């Protein structure tokens, strides 16, 4: 039930849907006062959720910075959360715009910061096919000459709660000691870190794909509305609600 509700939540939290609802009410209502209020609400929502400046400020205060690593220490594993790939029309795996998660995991291993790389991801679609992201990623890791002995695959999880639960079981089975490095997108790290720690896993945040990072804010360009910014708001709104749910659970 929670899995289905989490998928519905994405649709409900998409700001563009709110704007469309107010516009439709404004168009079809016969009450002048309601029409005016709905048009104003739609305009205000558009201004807020298309503002690069407001999204920047939100990300700056929400995103988790990379936590420092002990110099010379080789950690037992880096846990890379899925979402960095999907399947094409032929059922073959392809990287997407969140491939930085996979790259960060490989980078940490390439720097000899970890001995094992654990990919945690099954298929999070409501109508799931046979495609399993972690299984596909395993093949990519082997193509990149990562030895079998250094690869751990968890391909059953559908969400962050299951990522933490199934990763813990696998790491315990392999007798790999904590702490573990945790890699996911910066906007997702706050919730992921909380869930993993509640599961009893000692993790060190190594976020990827930060919205702000160390970039300086360009005030002038950030004042120009950008419809593409709305997608970013969807992610953050989902994370805020998801963190509240995680605290309740």
Asked whether the beta carbons of 187 and 59 are under 8 A apart, the reply is yes
Q: Which pTM value belongs to this model?
A: 0.87
Look up residue 187 and give its two tokens. 């906007």
Which pLDDT score, from 0 to 100, does residue 6 have?
A: 58
| C-alpha dist (Å) from residue 57 to 28, 53, 92, 216 | 36, 6, 38, 12
Which pLDDT score, from 0 to 100, does residue 24 have?
A: 95
Say whether 223 sits in a helix, a strand or coil: coil
Domains and CATH numbers, the chain: 2-63+229-248 (no CATH), 75-205 (3.40.50.620)
Low pLDDT (below 50) residues in the chain: 213
Digit-coded pLDDT (tens) for 82-136: 999 988 888 889 999 899 999 999 999 999 999 999 999 988 666 667 899 999 9
Measured in degrees and rounded to the nearest 5, phi and psi for residue 82 equal: -70, -175
């Amino acid at each position: 039930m929670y899995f289905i509700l989490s998928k519905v939540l994405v649709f409900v939290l998409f700001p563009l849907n709110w704007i469309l609802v107010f516009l439709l009410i404004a168009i079809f209502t016969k009450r002048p006062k309601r029409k005016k209020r709905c048009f104003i609400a739609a305009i205000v929502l558009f201004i807020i959720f298309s503002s690069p400046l407001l999204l920047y400020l939100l990300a700056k205060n929400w995103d988790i910075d990379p936590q420092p690593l002990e110099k010379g220490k080789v950690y037992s594993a880096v846990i890379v959360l899925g979402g960095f790939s999907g399947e094409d029309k032929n059922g073959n795996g392809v990287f997407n715009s969140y491939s930085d998660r996979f790259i960060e995991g490989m980078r940490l291993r390439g720097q000899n910061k970890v001995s094992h790389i654990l990919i945690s991801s099954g298929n999070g679609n409501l109508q799931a096919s046979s495609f399993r992201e972690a299984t596909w990623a395993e093949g990519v890791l082997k193509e990149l000459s990562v030895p079998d002995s250094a690869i751990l695959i968890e391909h059953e999880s559908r969400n962050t709660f299951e990522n933490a639960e199934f990763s813990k079981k696998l790491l315990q089975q392999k007798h790999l000691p904590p702490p573990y490095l945790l890699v996911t997108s910066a906007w997702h790290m706050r919730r992921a870190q909380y869930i993993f720690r509640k599961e009893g896993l000692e993790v060190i945040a190594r976020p990827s794909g930060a919205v702000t990072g160390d970039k300086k804010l360009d005030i002038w360009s950030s004042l120009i509305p950008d419809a593409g910014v709305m997608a970013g708001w969807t992610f953050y709104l989902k994370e805020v609600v998801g963190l509240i749910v995680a605290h309740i659970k």
